[in-house]
């Protein structure tokens, strides 16, 4: 246990951040950092429902306080993963369900639905003008109450006297209703941002570095997750591969710009890239090298060039991709893995990147304390020699036995010490 009572918040903050930075830079830290990404676990541990955590910021704050008081991780998540669902509701977000919304129970975790928000014959339109496509097609398809956006495509016609046409839609009732909804939701969103900012400050004062500076997505995932859908994009690899490549190419600078802008907004440097569609089962290595990795590599390098640290969060199996993932600058990125052979991951990637993750959520959920300790021991023995490994759960953690989570922390603090 860290002797927090004898250290100031600032000292603790610097100590934790140094531990994480040392690990990322492949230097030997004082001990293995513990950086789990907690999702529903914090409300569950704090004795409130997920629905309450998403809707009542005072209750959420109490739960978060309790978690940080009891567990003291090395990187801390403010409540950013407790999304602003009241704004989503105002806008009628179509591709997400959350606790207490449209039939989901108060303790069922929020979920993303994959809608085909771009049809197979709209690739050219996206490639021609992605901003216009996102504004005039993706937004109204994603948000039931923002239908007016569909008229924004005309804004492209505004040059010179074109504005006679392009501004006309703003006079319509539909557009005005859209703006009413947009403003109301944006105000709700703003209250949520205030909560995050306040809580981030609180974390810092208590000595916790905030884990995230921005979120980013692999360009292939931007296309697959939000525009086409998994099944559709995997069909596209066979049916229209050249369109997929062109679209991914077009989305790459957008991904880089968006992440850099996000990090500038928070003033924090860890950019979490949630990896989805490049898993082992979803495509061959040849396809991964063609469709997925080149644009992801550009994103990684773009962020590093901007002085940011990409934290690549691999969800699913990535065993066959490890060799390809070696191709990054040394000591600049973190690779988190959910299901991979971690011993092999260390062998393949250990000299170029810090790795993390892999404590199975299933063991934390229904295993025993001894099973958790055994698993953490396996990870430290095989991945943490001379640094380069951070302890983390396999996936974002929802419900798990508190004693199991405690065991992961306590065991790592003891057994993961280098000095």
Under the rule (CB under 8 A), what is the footprint of other proteins? Answer: 40, 50, 97, 103-105, 107-109, 111, 113-114, 230-231, 234-235, 237-238, 280-284, 287, 316, 320, 339, 360-362, 365-367, 395, 398-400
Q: Residue for token digits 């074109």?
A: 162
At residue 169, the 3 state secondary structure works out as helix
Minimum distance of other proteins from residue 362's CB (angstroms): 5
Minimum distance of other proteins from residue 339's CB (angstroms): 8
Which residues neighbour 328 within 8 Å (Cβ) at sequence distance 6 or greater?
297, 300, 301, 352, 353
DSSP code at position 145:
T
The strand pair at 334-339 and 309-317 is best described as parallel
Which residues neighbour 52 within 8 Å (Cβ) at sequence distance 6 or greater?
43, 59, 60, 106
Nearer to other proteins, 101 or 184 (CB): 101
Nearer to other proteins, 14 or 230 (CB): 230
Which among 6, 9, 36, 30 has a CA at the least distance from the CA of 18?
30
CA–CA separation, 123 vs 105, rounded Å? 37
Minimum distance of other proteins from residue 215's CB (angstroms): 20
- Is residue 355 within 8 A of residue 346, CB to CB? The reply is yes
Nearer to other proteins, 41 or 195 (CB): 41
Nearer to other proteins, 92 or 114 (CB): 114
In the chain, what is the greatest distance between 2 CA atoms, to the nearest angstrom? 73
Q: What are the DSSP calls for 312-337, one per residue?
A: EEEEEE-GGGHHHHT-S-TTS-EEEE
Q: What are the φ and ψ backbone dihedral angles of 330, each rounded to 5 degrees?
A: -70, 135
Minimum distance of other proteins from residue 49's CB (angstroms): 11
Q: Residue for token digits 């429902």?
A: 49
- Is residue 230 within 8 A of residue 114, CB to CB? The reply is yes
Q: For the range 130-135, what are the long-range contacts, defined as Cβ-Cβ under 8 Å and sequence gap of 24 or more?
A: 130/250, 130/251, 130/254, 132/156
Minimum distance of other proteins from residue 398's CB (angstroms): 5
Nearer to other proteins, 195 or 282 (CB): 282
Nearer to other proteins, 136 or 361 (CB): 361
Minimum distance of other proteins from residue 17's CB (angstroms): 30
Angle between helices 230-239 and 241-266 (to 10 degrees): 140
Minimum distance of other proteins from residue 243's CB (angstroms): 15
Minimum distance of other proteins from residue 62's CB (angstroms): 21
Nearer to other proteins, 179 or 366 (CB): 366
Nearer to other proteins, 206 or 365 (CB): 365
Structure tokens at 367: 């295993």
The CA–CA distances, whole Å, from 320 to 15, 44, 104, 281 equal: 36, 35, 36, 10
Minimum distance of other proteins from residue 296's CB (angstroms): 18
Nearer to other proteins, 275 or 303 (CB): 275
Count of Cβ atoms closer than 10 Å to residue 288 Cβ: 23
Nearer to other proteins, 360 or 402 (CB): 360
At residue 252, the 3 state secondary structure works out as helix
């Amino acid at each position: 246990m860290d002797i927090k009572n004898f250290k100031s918040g600032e000292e603790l903050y610097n100590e934790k951040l140094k531990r994480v930075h040392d690990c990322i830079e492949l230097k030997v830290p004082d001990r293995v950092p513990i950086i789990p990404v907690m999702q529903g676990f914090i409300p569950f541990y704090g004795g409130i429902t997920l629905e309450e955590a998403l809707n009542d910021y005072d209750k959420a704050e109490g739960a978060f306080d309790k978690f940080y008081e009891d567990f003291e991780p090395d990187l801390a998540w403010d409540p950013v993963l407790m999304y602003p669902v009241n704004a989503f509701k105002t806008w009628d977000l179509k591709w997400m369900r959350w606790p207490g919304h449209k039939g989901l129970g108060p303790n069922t975790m929020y979920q993303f639905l994959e809608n085909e928000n771009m049809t197979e014959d709209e690739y050219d339109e996206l490639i021609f003008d992605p901003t216009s496509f996102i504004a005039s097609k993706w937004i109204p398809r994603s948000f039931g109450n923002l239908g007016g956006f569909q008229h924004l495509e005309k804004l492209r016609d505004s040059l010179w006297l074109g504005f006679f046409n392009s501004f006309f839609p703003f006079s319509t009732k539909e557009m005005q209703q859209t703006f009413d909804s947009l403003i109301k939701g944006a105000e709700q969103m703003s209250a949520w941002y205030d909560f995050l900012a306040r809580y981030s400050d609180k974390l810092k004062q208590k000595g916790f570095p905030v884990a995230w500076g921005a979120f980013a997505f692999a360009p292939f995932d931007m296309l697959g997750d939000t525009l086409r859908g998994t099944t559709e994009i995997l069909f596209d690899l066979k049916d229209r591969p050249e369109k997929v490549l062109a679209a991914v190419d077009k989305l790459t600078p957008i991904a880089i710009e968006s992440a850099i802008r996000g990090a500038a907004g928070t003033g924090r440097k860890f950019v979490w890239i949630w990896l989805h569609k490049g898993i082992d089962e979803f495509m061959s290595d040849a396809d991964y090298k063609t469709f997925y990795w080149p644009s992801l590599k550009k994103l990684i390098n773009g962020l590093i060039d901007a002085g940011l640290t990409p934290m690549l969060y691999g969800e699913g199996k990535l065993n066959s991709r490890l060799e390809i993932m070696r191709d990054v600058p040394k000591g600049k990125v973190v690779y988190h893995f959910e299901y991979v052979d971690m011993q092999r991951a260390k062998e393949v990637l250990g000299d170029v990147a810090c790795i993390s993750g892999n404590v199975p959520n299933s063991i934390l959920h229904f295993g025993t304390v001894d099973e958790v300790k055994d698993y953490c021991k396996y990870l430290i023995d095989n991945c943490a020699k001379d640094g380069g490994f951070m302890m983390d759960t396999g996936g974002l953690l929802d419900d798990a036995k508190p004693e199991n989570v405690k065991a992961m922390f306590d065991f790592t603090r003891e057994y993961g010490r280098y000095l």
